[in-house]
Structure 1
Amino acid sequence: MSFRVVRQSKFRHVFGQALKRDQCYDNIRITSSSWDSTFCSVNSKFIAIITEAAGGGAFLVLPLEKTGRVDRDAPIVGGHKAAVLDVQWCPHNDDVIASASEDCTVKVWQIPERGLFRSLDEPIVDLLAHQRRVGLVVWHPSAHNILLSAGSDNKIFIWNISTSEVVSEIDFPDIPLSASWNWDGSRVVASSKDRKLRVIDPRTGRLIREGFGHEGTKPSQVVYLKNGSIFTTGFSKMSERQYALWDGHLNNIVMQEIDSSNGVIFPFYDPDTNLIYLCGKGDSAIRYFEITDEAPYIHYLNTYQSNEPQRGIGWMPKRGLNVNNCEIARFYKLHTKGFCEIIPMTVPRKSELFQDDLYPDTFSDVPALTADEWIEGRNAPPTLMSMKEGYRVAKKNEPTPAHARRAVLADTPALKKTTEPANHIIDQSNNTRQQVQTTPQNISNTSTAALPAGFDVQSILDDIRKLKIIVKGHERRIKGLEERLSNYEEVPHINNDY
């Protein structure tokens, strides 16, 4: 007798479900550049999408909540003189973003707290050193203001953003195509057009080791894993797409073919759960795998399939996810027709409690080191934060305490006046308006120590604002009735005894 053993994993049933169109972003002029880039970057506040722009390069920045149709004249970030090829948000400041362009420059931008109200063309930092187009920017994971840029001049530069100075210059024999920092930012691994992988000391530019990667000539992508291993995607000699796993010495552990499509595969790695998502350019699928320390090391989980191919794709950092819905990843998929689709990936759970096993501590926005400390030789892993802080207990089945309801009613006399007959409102409208206007000030000045448990001042203020709107509506209605009554020569006698 034989039977099949199914590998146990809490991520076996991860599934993606795209949001409705009105909850996504539409009418975006996505760039038509042929450069192999994701064209999109996301953080917990904004989404940035590289767009078409006449006479130069530009990208669009939108607050996450500003979904729906994007205006054609929406403000953009447009200071580059040629097409923008890559954008990346700073992991330690949600308002700062770096952009790389065909105009041979790297620029760092400060986005206003509430988003763009007018087009931005003045960066806070200009980084000038590359002699050819710059196609890649990658921020340091734990040190503040350290940025890597790679260009077609066969060079990688490590920058100190705070001083606009080059920390190190790394020469390559061919164009570097992809780069990734290790867990504490002490090493960089890069793939290049000569099909080799190189591990480099980013402070000195010293080559630590190198070895051949994928045999195909098409671009290869590389990611440093948390345990020091290296994950790559690329092509075989027969142009079949592959993924591979390498140890820290660039010895191959796993090499697996995927399919025979020709789009570059971008890997998105989650170090908290050891999941890796593979998104191919021009594909309509997102494949995801779990990486373990035991053979066969890379375990296929599932595939999210849709009808439309992806022009580019963005990946939400873990701290921007909705933990109440057991969301473990979220993608922002760019369609060729100017539509950005949001795809949350969730793990189905029946419990409404915080799921500790799904959300170990993750990257925070607090840097572990300053730029000077890192340059001097210190290394530190990223500062972590608990995802439990973003969890909100469901209140849909919890009734409002009786004493809180009584307190709301007692402190809002305008509520009673809006339910009385219209002629009484006419007589008391001015007095009612004064009461509504002065009540918030009285409540806000009340000592919170004297309030009963469960008394929520903010909710009362919100209720009062709503009442003010109701009262103003009644006043407009009454004024209209008075104007209509003044047009009559005779006003009918009202029997007060009725």
Structure 2
Amino acid sequence: MSWRPQYRSSKFRHVYGKAATKENCFDGVPITRGVQDNNFCAVNPRFLAVVTECAGGGAFLVLSVHHTGKVDPHHPRVSGHRGNVLDVKWNPFDDYCIASCSEDATVKVWEIPPHGLLKNMTVALKELQGHSRRVGLIEWHPTAKNILFSTAYDYKVMIWNLDCPEQVIKNPVRTISHHTDVVLSMSFNVDASLMATTCKDRKIRLLEPRSGTLLQEANCKTHKASKVLILDNVNKLLTSGTSRWNDRQIALWDLDDLSVPLLEENLDGSSGFLFPFYDPDTHMLYLAGKGDGNIRYYEISSEKPYIHYLTEYRSNLPQKGMGVMPKRGLDVSSCEVFRFYKLVTIKALIEPLSMIVPRRSESYQEDIYPMTAGNKAALTADEWLTGIDRGPVLMSLKPGHPTGESDGECEKDQAYIRDRLIAKNGGKTDSNGVAGNGGTTVSNGQDFLLCSPPKTENELRVKFYKQQDEIRRLVDLLHQRDVRIKQLELEINNMKNSQQNSLEHF
């Protein structure tokens, strides 16, 4: 009897990475040269935000995820910070709301217009002033609306309630002061009743964030942890970092007992940082190396040996940071289960990378797309602060099911388009308050102001792209008019100067 290798049966064993074509990448992006071990990038189904190099303060770009290709070097930016921006994160329940933190010791919350940026944005929706040194990390609460966590080089973790009416908030609702050095990462379980942190003092801490109570503390003697993830559905905690011999290493811990790691696995001797990403729907763990182009991926189980190696995606384009698309933004028709946005500094490039399960059938694959966390908050900030914990509001990714987009977002799009059409028609409206002369109908014949969903996914996609194209057309038209006005102003000034010089000559 011949020997045969034993493979673990898994539907994700053949997952492979597929990089986007050049025309579907973002080219010419001046990615920050900062040395902070952050992702420098955040993505949602509408926008991509990336921290950029900027003179005289900190700034980041906000681009439409569909507006790929060459990026205009003069593209408007969010530039209200006085120091370098260190981290950006989209609000999980509002695709137009993004938070940023900076070396200027502030956290700012911005509201991005539905059409994107037409000019530099310098005035924030909220400004959080509480830290005494530069703020390195921010995280949104995974289920409660308008709760934001921040940590800075003052060794403190602060919790903010953005429902406060003031634009400038100086007092956090909670300050956690258990750390004796800089906090390197934060992670939450599914309802944020637990928070795990790694710190430069080589300790892993498990806390109850609402009260700030320290539940457990692990002193890592053989493993220097940098990043931490709570793997809630298998009751484990994962850290990535280095061994005592400076090999890149991951460690797995029992969430109920952090005294000794369940396992430590050395990966290689590279000096680059490891970014861990976990997908609880597929139980897949991705490890992306900073400074190289490789991404290892594994499947996590609750029984030994816990971590099962699947394969590795290799690329000669090294990544400086990684953004991750939420599950509701994936292309289920191509069996895409994860999507990265790689920041490639050497080419000023952002490259989308899809992780795909190979399937012959083109129909929706129920087994790889369970119900997943949507963009509806499970509770308000006040409810969470009073002691209520609640898991995420789940949604289906099946085409034809509600996407979870709120009516308010649709109305926000409608209001902007209505305002622009009215402005385009010189402020004229018909008896219904709509832009005159057929202002509701655009060049492609679609009614812009109606928000009733089409019957099929293809119709929805076609309508969405048509609307995006029309918005871009209107934005380009406005930009062309602005340029023409500036040209005319310069010509008028030149004529005035020449006339004045002629009179002086005579």
Q: Give the structure-2-normalised TM-score.
A: 0.76
Range moving further from structure 2, 381-390 or 255-264: 381-390
**Does residue 185 of the first structure (1) align with residue 192 of the second (2)?**
yes
* Pairing 1:295-306 to 2, within 5 Å after superposition: 295-306=304-315
Partner of 2:242: 235
Output the amino acid matched with 1:86: D
- 1:352 deviates by 1.7
1:314 aligns with 2:320: no
CA-CA distance at 1:391 after TM superposition: 8.1
Deviation larger for 86-95 or 249-258: 249-258
Q: Does 1:258 align with 2:267?
A: yes
Partner Cα separation in structure 2 for residue 391 and residue 309 of structure 1: 38
Aligned to 1:167: 173
Tell me, what secondary structure is at the counterpart of 1:350? Answer: coil
Alignment partner, residue 202 of structure 1: 209
Q: Is the 8 A contact 1:361 1:386 kept in 2?
A: yes
Q: Say whether the 8 Å CA contact 1:323–1:391 is kept in structure 2.
A: no
The residue aligned with 2:360 is 350
Q: How far 1:286 sits from its partner (Å)?
A: 0.7
Q: Which amino acid aligns with 2:281?
A: D
1:374 aligns with 2:384: yes
Q: Contact between 2:337 and 2:368, CA under 8 Å: does it hold in 1?
A: yes
Give me the whole-angstrom Cα distance separating, in 1, the residues matched to 2:223 and 2:189: 25
Partners of 1:103 and 1:63 in 2: CA distance: 27
Shift of 1:124: 0.4
Q: State the Cα distance separating 1:390 from its structure 2 match.
A: 6.1
| 4+ long deviations beyond 4 Å | none
1:149 matched residue in structure 2: 150
Note the 1:414-493 alignment, pairs <5 A. Answer: none
Shift of 1:213: 3.4
The one-character-per-residue Cα deviations of 1:185-244 (angstroms, maximum 9, x if unpaired) are: 111000000111001111111111101236455x61001112231111011111111111
Mapped to 1, the partners of 2:386 and 2:5 lie a distance apart of 55
Report the 3-state secondary structure (helix = DSSP H, G, I; strand = E; otherwise coil) of the residue aligned with 1:244.
strand
Instruction: Say if 1:216 and 1:238, in contact at 8 Å, map to a contact too.
Output: no
| Alignment partners' CA distance in 2, 1:391 and 1:92 | 18
Task: Provide the residue aligned with 1:452 in structure 2.
Answer: none
User: Partner residue of 1:10?
Assistant: 11
Q: Distance in 1 between matches of 2:290 and 2:118?
A: 32
Task: Please list the CA deviations of residues 392-447 of structure 1 after superposition, one character each: whole Å capped at 9, or x if unmatched.
Answer: 9xxxxxxxxxxxxxxxxxxxxxxxxxxxxxxxxxxxxxxxxxxxxx9x9xx99xxx
**Cα distance in 2 between the residues matched to 1:69 and 1:303:** 30
Q: Look up the equivalent residue of 1:329 and give its one-letter code.
A: F
Aligned length: 400
Residue in structure 2 matched with residue 42 of structure 1 by the alignment: 43
- With over 3 angstroms needed to count, the CA separation of the structure-2 counterparts of 1:168 and 1:50, relative to structure 1, is same
3-state secondary structure, aligned to 2:399: helix
Instruction: Report the CA distance between 1:263 and its aligned residue.
Output: 1.4
Alpha-carbon shift at residue 332 of structure 1 (Å): 0.6
- The match for 2:450 is none
**Measured at CA, do residues 65 and 91 of structure 1 come closer, stay the same or move farther in structure 2, by a change above 3 Å?**
same
Q: What CA RMSD, in Å, does the superposition of the two structures yield over aligned residues? A: 2.2
Partner in structure 1 of residue 284 of structure 2: 275
Partner of 1:221: 227
Any gaps of 5 or more consecutive residues in structure 1? 393-437, 445-455, 463-498
The one-letter code matched in structure 2 to 1:7 is R
Distance 1:304 1:155, change over 3 A: same
2:77 corresponds to 1:76:
yes
What residue identity is the alignment partner of 1:83?
Answer: N
Shift of 1:3: 3.1
Contact 2:189 2:232 (8 Å CA) reproduced: yes
Distance in 1, Cα, partners of 2:4 & 2:73: 59
Q: Which amino acid aligns with 1:150?
A: T
2:252 aligned residue (245, 256, 260): 245
Structure 2 unaligned regions, length at least 5: 403-440, 448-458, 467-506
C-alpha distance after superposition, 1:322-368 (max 9, x if no partner): 00000001111111121111111100101122101110011100000
Contact kept in structure 1, 2:223 and 2:251, CA below 8 Å: no
Range with greater deviation from structure 2 (81-90 or 205-214):
205-214
What amino acid does structure 2 have at the position aligned with 1:23? N
Residue 423 of structure 1: aligned partner:
none
Report the secondary structure of 2:392's partner residue. Answer: coil
Matched, 1:326 2:332: no
Distance in 2 separating the partners of 1:67 and 1:265: 27
2:416 corresponding residue in structure 1 = none
Q: Please say if 1:384 is aligned against 2:394.
A: yes
